[in-house]
Amino acid sequence: MNVEPGNLLVVDDNQMNRDMLSRRLKQHNHTVAIAVNGRQALEMVRAEKFDLVLLDIMMPEVNGYEVLEQLKADETLRHIPVIMVSAVDELDSVVRCIEMGAEDYLPKPFNQVLLKARVNASLEKKRLRDQEQAHLRTIAEEKKRADDLLHVILPDTVVDELKTTNGVRPRRHENVAVMFCDIVEFTTYCDRRDPEEVMTHLQKLFELFEEMALKHDLEKIKTVGDAFMATAGLLTPAENPALNCVKCALDMLAATPTVLPQWKVRAGIHVGPVMAGVIGKRQYLFDVWGDTVNTAARIEGLGAPDTITLSGPAWAQVATLCHSSGSEIVRVKGKGEMGIYYVDGLLTG
């Protein structure tokens, strides 16, 4: 069996044995280091990477048993194969070392053929083990990358349920505030700009929106074109979901000109029950559905640039906490006439 040469450590207090063993190993193109006692051997394996240790049993100070015991007790060193070197009359000692974790043994005096066979077998086992460990590390890294990506796509609680049950049960949630925020006349802006320019600014803006959603305990649901959709009180409890959305929307309106002065956004907020769940198999999407979602989207579309528009139920949650610049009765598709309120700030004091 042809095996790639390794970096070997020979540990023996007898100079003649060391020299003979080292010379024969070097004939097979192995790199050989020498330790004259167990204490030095332990220092060397902690400082340098070895593929195999050939360890004499009977040595002064720290004997072969103690060296082997310390190697196998150390998580970073226990994978190094150890071949015990022993005299023929030390067979009981060899058995003890094998039980402690030694890979193999070599009797003295050394037989050239046996030496080559047992060293090569030990090195091949280590090479296969190293390949397996590298493969397992690659799998673990890929799994972590997949988990990280899943957490980017889906909320943490949804990921936990998906990994535990291999599915996500659809649920109805009460008193959820749904907010849409989009860029006014975005299509017109895009028609006059290069795609790279548009995407650069849009990416920067939505990154800011994500930070603001996190700051105000909103759950980002998705982006649809230039519209940013988020909820409050869906997966984590919120004392006042509509207020969380208003605070976030105010920050969004203030931040947008810092990305691009000519951009203006508007936000719409409605409160009510929603259905939530995961759609898709190849590409997961956590989403919410229902009349509350549709109403929030339509209310947002009724707003003027730099306005936050609330439905009556949403306004009821924040009426004592926010300042309104006015209200009106409008006709909303699928809903008929509705009262809407325009919020332009928080009340102080």
Bridge partners (DSSP) of residue 243 are none
Q: Locate the domains of the chain by residue range.
A: 7-141, 167-346
The larger pLDDT score, comparing residue 325 to residue 335, is at 325
Decide: pTM greater than 0.85: no
- Residue 88: predicted pLDDT: 59
pLDDT at 23 over 60: yes
- Residue 89: predicted pLDDT: 67
pLDDT at 96 over 60: yes
- Residue 109: predicted pLDDT: 83
CA-wise closest residue to 7 among 47, 43, 52: 52
**Under 8 Å between Cβ of 123 and 52:** yes
Q: In this structure, are strands 322-332 and 336-346 parallel, antiparallel, or unpaired?
A: antiparallel
CA distances from 232 to 18, 186, 195, 258, 296 (A): 73, 26, 32, 25, 13
Q: Which fold has domain 7-141?
A: Rossmann fold (3.40.50)
**Under 8 Å between Cβ of 325 and 347:** no
pLDDT tens digit string along 36-74?
999 999 999 999 999 999 999 888 889 999 999 999 999
Q: Which fold has domain 167-346?
A: Alpha-Beta Plaits (3.30.70)
- Residue 321: predicted pLDDT: 95
The CA distance from 186 to 35, in Å, is 74
Residue where the block lists tokens 């060293």:
119
Helices 38-47/64-73 angle, 10° precision: 30
- Section 209-219 average pLDDT: 95
What amino acid occupies position 252? Answer: M
